[in-house]
């Protein structure tokens, strides 16, 4: 099958198009003909080897973490799907590879595609929708009336997180550029901070939850907008020892991760708030819980640009350069 593989860690030149063996289909697997895939910051991090200590993929490996497509074959033990089903998924971390014609995944990681969405729209959702769910519902347990800050509201994760937080009954603030103020307001943001004109930490106060996708100085400044007992959950880092344990890392790696997050954890304790890092997990069940929101239009995808499969490298470069105006960059097989 055709696929885009990482032949060496380090930079964009390590990605190439070529032929790789078709995936093997286990008893609990579904084989999916991929019709569309989307690009996430995780793809660049994996390509550049930034996560090698916890996700040591052996090169060459196929890149890509989101998809929508059609079931071509089911394993002997599969009960949830049949040949011809239209599905969407974020493969498990050890089964990635959506920039390809085919992929085999465990049935537990797959869900029926919302009928109202195109393949391209559906492919834009799994990773960011699961991340938003796992931050806001699982980890933060957001309740009606609570105040939630979603950073980078016009990004792939931000556009979905704003909408989900509103569906949970939260009062939602977000940060964005001048050009996207109107977009995030239409998505439901109650308070919009234009970072080109204002410093968010000077205008936002007493928030219950912060979803951080930027890291660095933004992460540290975000501690100041939380009320005592508040939570900041980051998907950009630094990782913590809990993640290392979750991924089964050895004690040395656990210690190193704990050291990486020591500064922000200490700063959080001084403010009587908590910091944690989230590396999202694949879950077909959670995608099924989210599907009614998609079907009803209460949460809708935001797609910036669709590239043909042959231009997957260009799509990665477009995303990496920050040229996307809002939402997700998608690669289409059709």
Q: What is the DSSP string of 164-184?
A: HHHHTT-EEEEEE-GGGHHHH
- Class for domain 2-124+301-332, per CATH? alpha beta
d(CA 290, CA 47): 29
Question: What's the token pair of residue 129?
Answer: 């929708």
d(CA 207, CA 227): 5
pLDDT for 260 equals 81
Among all chains, which residue has been given the structure tokens 């880092």? 237
pLDDT for 235 equals 95
* Mean pLDDT, contiguous 10-residue spans, the chain (334 residues): 94 90 98 98 92 86 97 98 98 96 98 98 98 98 98 98 98 97 98 97 98 96 98 90 74 79 94 95 98 98 97 94 93 90
Is the whole-model pTM more than 0.75? yes
Question: What's the token pair of residue 207?
Answer: 């928030």
| φ, ψ at 232 (rounded to 5°) | -115, 125
Q: Which residues make Cβ contacts (< 8 Å) with residue 152, sequence separation at least 6?
A: 158, 174, 175, 176, 213, 214
Residues 254 and 245: beta-carbon distance below 8 Å: yes
Question: What's the token pair of residue 194?
Answer: 């234009």
Domain boundaries, given as residue ranges, for the chain = 2-124+301-332, 127-277
127-277 CATH: 3.40.50.720
């Amino acid at each position: 099958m055709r696929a885009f593989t990482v032949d060496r860690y380090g930079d964009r030149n390590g990605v190439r198009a070529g032929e790789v063996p078709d995936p093997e289909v286990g008893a609990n697997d579904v084989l999916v003909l991929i019709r569309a895939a989307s690009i996430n910051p995780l793809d660049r991090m994996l390509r550049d080897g930034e996560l090698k200590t916890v996700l040591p993929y052996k090169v060459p490996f196929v890149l890509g973490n989101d998809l929508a497509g059609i079931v071509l074959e089911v394993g002997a033990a599969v009960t949830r799907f049949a040949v011809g089903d239209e599905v969407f998924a974020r493969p498990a971390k050890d089964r990635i590879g959506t920039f390809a014609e085919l992929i085999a995944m465990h049935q537990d990681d797959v869900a029926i595609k919302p009928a109202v969405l195109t393949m391209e729209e559906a492919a834009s959702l799994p990773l960011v929708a699961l991340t938003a769910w796992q931050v806001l519902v699982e980890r933060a347990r957001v309740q009606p009336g609570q105040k939630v800050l979603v950073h980078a509201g016009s990004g792939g994760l931000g556009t979905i997180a704003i909408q989900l937080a509103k569906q949970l009954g939260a009062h939602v603030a977000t940060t964005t550029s001048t050009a996207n103020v109107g977009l995030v307001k239409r998505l439901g943001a109650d308070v919009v901070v234009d970072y080109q004109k204002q410093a968010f930490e000077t205008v936002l106060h007493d928030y219950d939850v912060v979803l951080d996708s930027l890291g660095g100085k933004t992460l540290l400044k975000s501690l100041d907008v939380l009320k005592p007992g508040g939570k900041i959950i980051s998907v950009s880092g630094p990782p913590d020892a809990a993640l290392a344990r979750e991924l089964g890392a050895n004690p040395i790696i656990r210690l190193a991760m704990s050291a990486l997050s020591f500064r922000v954890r200490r700063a959080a304790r001084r403010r009587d708030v908590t910091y944690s890092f989230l590396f999202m997990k694949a879950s077909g069940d959670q995608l099924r819980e989210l599907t009614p929101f998609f079907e009803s239009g209460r949460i809708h995808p935001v797609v910036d640009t669709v590239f043909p499969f042959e231009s997957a490298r260009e799509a990665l470069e477009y995303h990496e350069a920050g040229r996307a105006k809002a939402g997700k960059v998608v690669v289409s097989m059709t």
